[in-house]
């Protein structure tokens, strides 16, 4: 039987021919950073954070198919240094302000990778991008200044939705994600399926229903938020990211008591798409498909964003029985008889 060695131990898992090394590492529950990789999208190989040693050579774990006898080391000095170097390049494109970020909910890949790699200080300072937030789509917005250019959104648009709207202008001085080569989102061929928002590993692409609602401090006026961010950035050189992240994680834990995540099935059609619905009180924050049996990470515009009717004042809340040309309210027992 074929086998591979992970960090000096023979993997006690069934190996699937053609399986990628990163998937075996994940099944073995060994922690390796992986910012651009998503199991539903396949290898994109833009971030380089999943670097490991295979038979003594540094390779991307997402780009290697397993073979019998392979010897893999994920935590060697060379591998860890390569992972840190790659993630420093990621942080060059992203301003960390987790405590006042609506995406600080325990599932932000950039936040979690900063913590797992024990990053205290950036080797490369954040580079501001000279672009405004694009909020011309009714359901989501794109913040180029927070975009890490991982390519997940492009991959989802190109190969999952097959809409081919998104691309990245890598040749530009300040690369960013483009809709139809440079149109605003609202004027582009985007069909608002929401795949790009679902797979984004940070807060660059976010549902508008989340913004200003998820966190305790995120509803503050933008001037106040910017002041808090600047204050945090002033203390970071002395305190390090570890201390700042501990504050943001305490705030995220407080959110958990207010935000419910309910797995459900979409009611719009008979496909049976499943997803998690995030709610705070009666407010729907987001719909998050998590590898559903029928839909994977996919949704249509209605399944992802079309839930305003839930809290609409025009929504029926009691059964109605027709009597002549009028309707009267009835109890459920009467309506079901």
The three-state (H, E, C) secondary structure of 74-115, written as one string: CCCHHHHHHHHHHHHHHHCCCCCCHHHCCCCCCCCHHHHHHH
- Supply the pLDDT for residue 66: 92
| Residue ranges, CATH 3.30.70.20, the chain | 94-256
Q: Cα separations (Å) of 216 from 104, 145, 220, 292?
A: 11, 23, 9, 30
Distance CA 182, CA 161 (A): 20
- Residue 328 is inside which H or E element, if any? strand 326-329
Measured between its terminal Cα atoms, the distance across the chain in Å is 63
User: Of all residues in the chain, what percent are helix, strand and coil, respectively (each to 5)?
Assistant: 30, 20, 50
Using the structure block, give the residue that is written with the tokens 């000279």: 130
Distance CA 197, CA 322 (A): 43
Distance CA 158, CA 164 (A): 5
- Supply the pLDDT for residue 12: 80
Kindly state the tokens that stand for 136. 């011309």
Task: Find the farthest-apart pair of alpha carbons in the chain and give their distance in angstroms, rounded.
Answer: 83
In this prediction the pTM is 0.90
Alpha helices in the chain (DSSP H): 21-27, 77-91, 109-116, 152-155, 195-199, 222-256, 301-305, 332-336
| Residue ranges, CATH 3.10.20.740, the chain | 5-90
Kindly state the tokens that stand for 143. 């913040």
Kindly state the tokens that stand for 46. 């833009």
- Supply the pLDDT for residue 1: 47
Using the structure block, give the residue that is written with the tokens 């660059």: 204
Domain with residues 5-90, CATH architecture: Roll (3.10)
CB 213, CB 102: distance < 8 Å:
yes
Angle at the Cα of 210 from the Cα atoms of 183 and 296, rounded to 5 degrees? 75
Using the structure block, give the residue that is written with the tokens 């207010």: 258
Class of domain 94-256: alpha beta
CB 124, CB 93: distance < 8 Å:
no
Q: What is the pLDDT tens value at each position of the chain, 337 positions in all?
A: 478 999 999 988 888 889 999 999 999 999 999 999 999 999 999 999 999 999 999 999 999 999 988 999 999 999 999 999 999 999 999 999 898 899 999 899 999 999 999 999 888 999 999 999 999 999 999 999 999 999 999 999 999 999 999 999 999 999 999 999 999 999 999 999 999 999 999 999 999 999 999 988 888 888 888 888 888 788 788 888 888 888 889 988 899 889 999 999 999 999 999 999 999 988 999 999 988 889 999 999 999 999 988 888 888 889 999 999 999 999 999 999 8
Side-chain-side CA neighbours of residue 56 (13 Å): 0
- Supply the pLDDT for residue 188: 98
Please state the φ and ψ torsions of residue 292, each to the nearest 5 degrees.
-65, 155
Going by C-alpha positions, the residue among 232, 228, 250 that lies closest to residue 240 is: 232
Distance CA 288, CA 195 (A): 10
């Amino acid at each position: 039987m074929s086998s591979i060695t992970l960090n000096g131990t023979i993997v006690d898992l069934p190996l699937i021919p053609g399986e990628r090394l990163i998937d075996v590492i994940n099944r073995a529950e060994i922690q390796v950073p992986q910012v651009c990789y998503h199991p539903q999208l396949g290898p994109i190989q833009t971030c380089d954070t999943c670097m490991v040693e295979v038979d003594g050579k540094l390779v991307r774990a997402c780009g290697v198919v397993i073979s019998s006898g392979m010897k893999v080391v994920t935590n060697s000095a060379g591998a860890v240094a390569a992972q840190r170097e790659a993630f420093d390049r990621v942080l060059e494109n992203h301003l960390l302000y987790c405590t006042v970020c609506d995406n600080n909910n325990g599932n932000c890949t950039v936040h979690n990778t900063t913590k797992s790699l024990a990053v205290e200080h950036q080797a490369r300072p954040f580079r501001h991008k000279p672009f405004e937030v694009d909020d011309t789509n009714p359901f989501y917005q794109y913040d180029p200044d927070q975009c890490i250019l991982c390519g997940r959104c492009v991959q989802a648009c190109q190969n999952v939705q097959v809409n081919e709207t998104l691309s990245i202008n890598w040749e530009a001085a300040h690369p960013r994600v483009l809709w139809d080569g440079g149109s605003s989102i609202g004027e582009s061929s985007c069909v608002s399926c929401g795949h790009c928002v679902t797979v984004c590993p940070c807060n660059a692409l976010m549902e508008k229903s989340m913004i200003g609602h998820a966190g305790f401090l995120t509803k503050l006026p933008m001037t106040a938020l910017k002041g808090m961010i600047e204050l945090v950035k002033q203390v970071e050189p002395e305190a390090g990211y570890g201390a700042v992240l501990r504050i943001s994680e305490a705030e995220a834990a407080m959110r958990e008591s207010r935000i419910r995540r309910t797995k459900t099935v979409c009611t719009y059609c008979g496909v049976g798409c499943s997803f998690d619905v995030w709610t705070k009180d009666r407010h729907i924050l987001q719909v998050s498909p998590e590898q559903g049996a029928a839909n994977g990470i996919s949704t249509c515009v209605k399944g992802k964003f079309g839930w305003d009717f839930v809290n609409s004042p025009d929504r029926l809340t009691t059964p109605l029985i027709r009597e002549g040309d009028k309707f009267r309210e009835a109890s459920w027992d009467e309506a079901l008889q």
